């Protein structure tokens, strides 16, 4: 009889690191397959893994390929995800379908968290989480990322949530679900391209060690679910909040006019925002992703030290 381990395909390097409590950072693949053109995405994939290794951790890019949950991709698999030919966008609801049918899929935040937890990885770096979409009181468009944070024990480091969302309602939802929202050296919840959203965080963590100690304390208590750590985009790459609001609102209007819904909404909005901002948003997106990988790796290193000391 099969169990979840039969679906996991972990590279030898990552498997050895997990077994020996060395720091590992999970990375998603949707940003590669659905967020960037080829070959720029391949260059990004290599660079973000270099950032993780530069901080003393091991990168674990995830995907669903040929009926397996991939934890770490070899050169050929990375090329497949970046060329993005017949690569689906996978959320929690899609995992079983893709595994059973052998379809290839790029992982968004929720399945990356699931795969990381199954493999024994506690830290995941992303760009920014999904959340409650603007107008959700009518559309009920709420990302599965929020439920995943409430149930899956992984610390997600991102630049807050995407600024095209209803940030206030997203934070209210996370509070209701008992998800700690921490700010990395900030009192302000970041808004993806912008350092501030006008909303606060639950707690300002001063460094990676403090973040790791908070993680360990929660999980030592047996409390379910993960964390969201809002890590602001570096100041030199941040965009003006008011200007971005104008661009985002215009992109949302265009989305409504075209009748785009569901999982196609976010890719359309991000591409449109990129065009309307003259490419500035894309450049910022790269830099915030590198910065999140850096901070996530530092936290993973500190968490591994705490677990080792507790043995």
C-alpha distance from residue 217 to each of 144, 158, 305 (Å): 26, 21, 14
- Helices of type H across the chain: 12-19, 30-33, 40-54, 75-83, 95-101, 109-119, 136-139, 144-151, 167-176, 208-220, 241-258, 265-276, 280-309
C-alpha atoms less than 13 angstroms from C-alpha of 23 in its C-beta half-sphere: 26
Report the alpha-carbon distance of residue 311 to residue 309 in Å, rounded: 6
C-alpha distance from residue 72 to each of 33, 114, 167, 230 (Å): 15, 14, 32, 25
Best CA proximity match to 57, nearest among 296, 219, 228, 286: 296
Report the alpha-carbon distance of residue 91 to residue 196 in Å, rounded: 28
SS3 assignment, position 30:
helix
Best CA proximity match to 213, nearest among 121, 141, 304, 294: 304
Which sequence positions are flagged as catalytic? 28, 162
Report the alpha-carbon distance of residue 219 to residue 225 in Å, rounded: 9
């Amino acid at each position: 009889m099969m169990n979840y381990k039969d679906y996991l395909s972990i590279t030898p390097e990552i498997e050895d690191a997990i077994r020996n409590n060395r720091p590992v950072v999970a990375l998603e693949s949707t940003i590669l397959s659905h967020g960037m053109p080829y070959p720029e995405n391949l260059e990004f994939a290599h660079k973000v893994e270099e950032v993780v290794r530069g901080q003393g951790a091991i990168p674990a890019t995830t995907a669903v390929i040929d009926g397996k949950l991939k934890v770490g991709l070899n050169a050929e698999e990375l090329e497949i995800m970046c060329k993005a030919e017949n690569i689906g966008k996978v959320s929690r609801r899609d995992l079983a379908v893709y595994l059973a049918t052998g379809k290839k899929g790029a992982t968004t935040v929720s399945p990356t968290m699931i795969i990381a937890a199954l493999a024994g990885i506690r830290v995941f770096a992303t760009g920014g989480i999904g959340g409650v979409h603007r107008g959700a009181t009518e559309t009920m468009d709420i990302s599965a990322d929020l439920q995943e944070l409430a149930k899956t024990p992984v610390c997600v480091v991102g630049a807050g949530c995407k600024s095209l969302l209803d940030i206030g309602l997203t934070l209210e939802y996370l509070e209701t679900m008992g998800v700690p929202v921490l700010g990395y050296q900030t009192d302000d919840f970041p808004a993806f391209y912008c350092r501030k959203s006008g909303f606060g965080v639950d707690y300002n963590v001063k460094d990676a060690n403090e973040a790791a100690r908070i993680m360990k304390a929660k999980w030592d208590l047996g409390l379910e679910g993960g964390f969201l750590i809002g890590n602001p985009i570096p100041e030199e790459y941040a965009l003006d909040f008011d200007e971005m609001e104008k661009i985002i609102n215009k992109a949302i209007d265009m989305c409504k006019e075209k009748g785009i819904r569901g999982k196609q909404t976010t890719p359309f909005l991000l591409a449109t925002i990129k065009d309307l901002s003259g490419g500035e948003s894309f450049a910022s997106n790269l830099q915030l992703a590198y910065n999140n990988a850096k901070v996530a790796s530092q936290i993973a290193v500190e968490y591994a030290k705490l677990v080792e000391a507790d043995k």
